[in-house]
């Protein structure tokens, strides 16, 4: 085992929760040092984006197709895109306190993920080619640097179907403040959620998004300006970049000269704000970060593109795609006794299966590794019990061989022909077990179903390098975002669960505690119980500018 992989496995072991104790964490919330949820660049020119009223008729089902007519790139379309992907969806208030929610979810609503837009096409005089930081609170772009005109022209000529790229980074401190050593895991979940959120929003506009797999962390940090002197501000760690353009993901540029782009970004502006006056960084994270650094690499290990999938029959309660994106919320409590239909359950599992030319997995060109251990509580025509959705045929036999609990059935489920769904135990009430394993949270047992996500850590890291530990959490987060939207399409709600007892989940299946297969994320889907004490306000009620039509009015 390589030194880097050993360090990653040690971090994973040290950050497990168990019945005997939780992973190292503060133990209390120091409200005086609570991080500001909004990063700003003081002194950077700010370009206000219009709040546009979309008349989009794109159906939610159409997001899983590749034939939506692309919208032209302009300030209005980019504004709508960024709002749907990363903007504020609502404010909650008790009358005394208020807090914002976003379209992309986050562990603890702490939002460590920062998003930058690298444009190599001029939108107008206020948005020339350059690097911009998206500020969701003011729905604005902060100009960090300008791209030299010759470089912008060259990029536009070389990559005519691409308009630029999204670049993602994480402020680990935002999660460390609450969750301590385990925070790195949650930051990576959030990157996956943000990637999928960006992909779904792109679909509404007929745009594509393709993750850059060749880009190394050092190159990305240079492009994003993260290597510059930040003074007392909390550092950001580079995560991933994705090329943005019109049409399908496989048509977008892959060979981007990122080092050249970094050299051509000039006239840097703005200083990052400090998010907390005091800090208590966790050494578990700082120790493992060097082992998780992604090198520049080729595409040799990527999953092959498959043929376009057949059109799915998706009968949604709320069929409009934009509406489903805007209504996404995390349920805090579930209504016991409320279930879901078998048809909705099958549709959800079908969409969880990897298809390289179907959203959201067309953004994620790695071989599928995450599989779903499902606690079925109340799904019509399906017996309660424990089930497994195996998303990769290549991993099925290894997973079965490593599950040593006697009596697991591994019986194909007849009600879902064509899906690799296996009944491990049928007719067994798993509500109490699901809640216990998810840190005694009732939402895991009161829902229609809940699940855990299992992945072969050693298999993936041996093939792709120790850095791939991060991308496994990205894959889990992408699945989580799909589950959020699918829950909404079925008139239900979802909640991501980062707190669970790792090895006790493994015990359920007889998996070795330090073995290849590890649990990475939990999720639950059911009917939310609304908190009547809270008042909901619109996401941008605090801004004075009015919403504008998406398209320019036609004048005669």
Contacts of 478 (CB under 8 A, 6+ apart): 192, 193, 195, 196, 360, 361, 363, 364
pLDDT computed for residue 310 by the predictor? 42
pLDDT for res 554? 40
Instruction: Spell out the residues 6+ positions from residue 210 whose beta carbon is closer than 8 angstroms to its own.
Output: 242, 243, 249, 250, 252, 253, 254, 362, 363, 365
Mean pLDDT for the stretch of residues 319-326: 92
pLDDT of 217 > 80? The answer is yes
CA separation for the pair 491, 324 (Å, rounded):
10
Instruction: Say if residue 301's pLDDT is above 60.
Output: no
H-run or E-run covering 352:
helix 342-352
Alpha carbons 36 and 412: distance in angstroms, whole number: 49
pLDDT the model gives residue 317 = 52
| Average pLDDT for 411-420 | 92
Give the chain's mean pLDDT.
92
52: phi then psi, degrees, rounded to nearest 5? -105, 145
pLDDT computed for residue 305 by the predictor: 43
The CA-atom distances, in angstroms, between 297 and each of 227, 294, 362 are 21, 8, 19
Average pLDDT rounded to a whole number, residues 264-272: 97
* Lowest-confidence pick of 397-401, 416-420, 519-523: 416-420
Q: What is the pLDDT of residue 193?
A: 98
HSE, side-chain direction, 13 A CA sphere, residue 5: 13
Q: What is the pLDDT of residue 537?
A: 87
2 pLDDT higher than 70: yes
Beta bridge partners of 525: 449, 494
pLDDT category at 360 given cuts 50, 70, 90 is very high
DSSP 320: B
Mean pLDDT, residues 274-288: 94
In this structure, are residues 275 and 173 in contact, taking their beta carbons and an 8 Å threshold? yes
Mean pLDDT of 356-373: 92
pLDDT tens track for 521-541:
999 999 998 888 888 889 999
* Residue 368: partners with Cβ closer than 8 Å, 6 or more residues away: 303, 354, 361, 391, 392, 475
280/468: higher pLDDT: 468
| pLDDT of 303 above 60 | no
Is 307 a residue whose pLDDT tops 60?
no
In whole angstroms, give the CA distance from residue 355 to residue 368. Answer: 10
- Tens of pLDDT, residue by residue over 326-349, are 999 998 899 898 899 999 999 999
Mean pLDDT, residues 105-121 taken together:
96
- Higher-confidence residue of 248 and 84: namely 84
- Portion of the chain with pLDDT greater than 70, in percent: 94
- The band of 79, judged by pLDDT with boundaries at 50, 70 and 90, is very high
What is Dmax (Cα atoms) for the chain? Answer: 76
From 110-119, 194-203, 325-334, the region with the lowest mean pLDDT:
325-334
Q: How crowded is the C-beta side of 175, counted as CA atoms within 13 Å?
A: 22
Tell me which residue of 6, 36, 64, 493 sits closest to 310, measured CA to CA.
64
Mean pLDDT check: name the lowest of 275-279, 448-452, 530-534.
Answer: 530-534
Dist. CA 312–CA 322, nearest whole Å: 19
Q: Which of 102-106, 458-462, 478-482, 544-548 has the lowest mean pLDDT?
A: 544-548
Residue that is written with structure tokens 């929003």 in the block: 201
Give me the pLDDT at residue 306, please. 46
Cβ-based neighbour number of residue 274 at 10 Å = 16
Q: What is the pLDDT of residues 26-36, one digit of tens each?
A: 988 888 899 99
**In what helix (H) or strand (E) does residue 3 lie, and over which residues does it extend?**
helix 3-14
Neighbours of 335 (CB within 10 A): 15
Query: In this predicted model, what pLDDT tens digit does every residue of 141-156 receive, in sequence order?
Result: 999 999 999 999 999 9
- pLDDT given for residue 1 in this prediction: 66
Is 32:526 a contact under the CB 8 Å cutoff? no
Around 354, how many Cα atoms within 13 Å sit in the side-chain half-sphere?
A: 22
Would you say 466 and 292 are in contact if contact means Cβ atoms under 8 Å apart? Answer: yes
pLDDT of 5 over the 80 cut: yes
> Which pLDDT belongs to residue 160?
86
For residue 283 the two structure tokens come to 């050494």
Lowest-confidence region among 295-299, 450-454, 468-472? 295-299
Provide mean pLDDT across the span 351-376. Answer: 92
Cis? peptide before 431, omega within 30° of 0: no
Instruction: Report the predicted TM-score, pTM, of the whole model to 2 decimal places.
Output: 0.96
Closest CA to 15 of 555, 534, 498, 360: 498
Phi, psi of 468 (to 5 degrees): -65, -15
Q: What is the dihedral of CA 209, 215, 219, 221, to 10 degrees?
A: 50
pLDDT given for residue 226 in this prediction: 96
Rounded to an integer, what distance in angstroms lies between the CA atom of residue 541 and that of residue 253?
38
Phi and psi (nearest 5°) for 292? Answer: -95, 5
pLDDT of residue 300: 42
Residue 371, beta-bridge partner list = 454
**Which pLDDT does position 158 carry in this prediction?**
87
Task: Compute CA distances 246 → 89, 204, 320, 325, 535, whole Å.
Answer: 25, 11, 21, 20, 39
């Amino acid at each position: 085992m390589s030194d880097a992989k050993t360090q990653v496995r040690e971090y994973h072991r040290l950050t497990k929760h168990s019945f005997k104790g939780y992973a190292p964490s503060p133990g209390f919330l120091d409200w005086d040092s609570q991080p500001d949820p909004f990063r700003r660049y003081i002194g950077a020119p700010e370009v206000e984006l219009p709040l546009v009223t979309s008349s989009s008729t794109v159906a939610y089902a159409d997001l899983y197709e590749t034939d939506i007519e692309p919208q032209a790139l302009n300030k209005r379309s980019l504004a709508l895109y960024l709002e749907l992907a990363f903007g504020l969806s609502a404010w909650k208030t008790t009358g005394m306190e208020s807090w914002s929610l976003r379209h992309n979810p986050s562990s603890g609503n702490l939002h460590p993920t920062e998003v930058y837009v690298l444009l190599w096409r001029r939108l107008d005089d206020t948005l020339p080619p350059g690097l911009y930081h998206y500020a969701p609170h003011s729905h604005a772009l902060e100009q960090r640097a300008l791209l030299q005109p010759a470089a912008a022209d060259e990029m536009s000529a070389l990559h005519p179907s691409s308009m630029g790229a999204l670049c993602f980074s994480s402020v680990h401190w935002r999660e460390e403040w609450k969750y301590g050593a385990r925070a790195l895991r949650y930051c990576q979940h959030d990157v996956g959620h943000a990637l999928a959120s960006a992909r779904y929003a792109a679909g509404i506009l007929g745009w594509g998004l393709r993750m850059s797999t060749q880009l190394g962390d050092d190159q990305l940090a240079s492009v994003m300006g993260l290597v510059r002197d930040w003074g007392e501000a909390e550092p950001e760690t580079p995560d991933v970049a994705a090329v943005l353009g019109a049409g399908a993901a496989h048509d977008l540029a892959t060979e981007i000269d990122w080092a050249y782009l970094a050299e051509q970004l000039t006239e840097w502006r703005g200083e990052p704000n400090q998010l907390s006056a005091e800090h208590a960084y966790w050494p578990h994270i700082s120790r493992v970060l060097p082992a998780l650094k992604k090198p520049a690499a080729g595409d040799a290990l990527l999953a092959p593109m498959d043929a376009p999938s057949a059109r799915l029959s998706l009968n949604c309660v709320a069929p409009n795609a934009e509406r489903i994106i805007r209504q996404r919320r995390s349920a805090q409590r579930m209504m016991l006794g409320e279930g879901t239909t078998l048809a909705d359950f099958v549709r959800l599992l079908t969409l969880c299966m990897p298809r390289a030319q179907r959203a959201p997995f067309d953004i994620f060109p790695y071989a599928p590794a995450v599989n779903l251990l499902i606690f079925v509580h109340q799904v019509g025509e399906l017996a309660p019990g424990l089930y497994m959705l195996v998303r990769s045929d290549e991993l099925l036999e290894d997973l079965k061989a490593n599950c040593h609990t006697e009596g697991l059935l591994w019986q194909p489920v007849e009600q879902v022909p064509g899906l690799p769904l296996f009944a491990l135990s049928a007719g067994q009430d798993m509500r109490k077990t699901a809640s216990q394993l998810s840190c005694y949270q009732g939402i895991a047992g009161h829902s229609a179903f809940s699940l855990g996500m299992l992945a072969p850590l050693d298999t993936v890291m041996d093939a792709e390098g120790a850095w791939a530990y991060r991308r496994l959490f990205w894959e889990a987060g992408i699945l989580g975002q799909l589950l959020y939207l699918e829950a909404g399409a079925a008139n239900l709600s979802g909640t991501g669960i980062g707190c669970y007892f790792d090895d006790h989940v493994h015990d359920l299946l007889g998996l070795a505690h330090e073995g290849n297969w590890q649990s990475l994320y939990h999720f639950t889907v059911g009917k939310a119980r609304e908190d009547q004490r809270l008042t909901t306000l619109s996401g941008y009620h605090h801004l004075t500018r009015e919403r504008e039509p998406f398209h320019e009015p036609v004048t005669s």
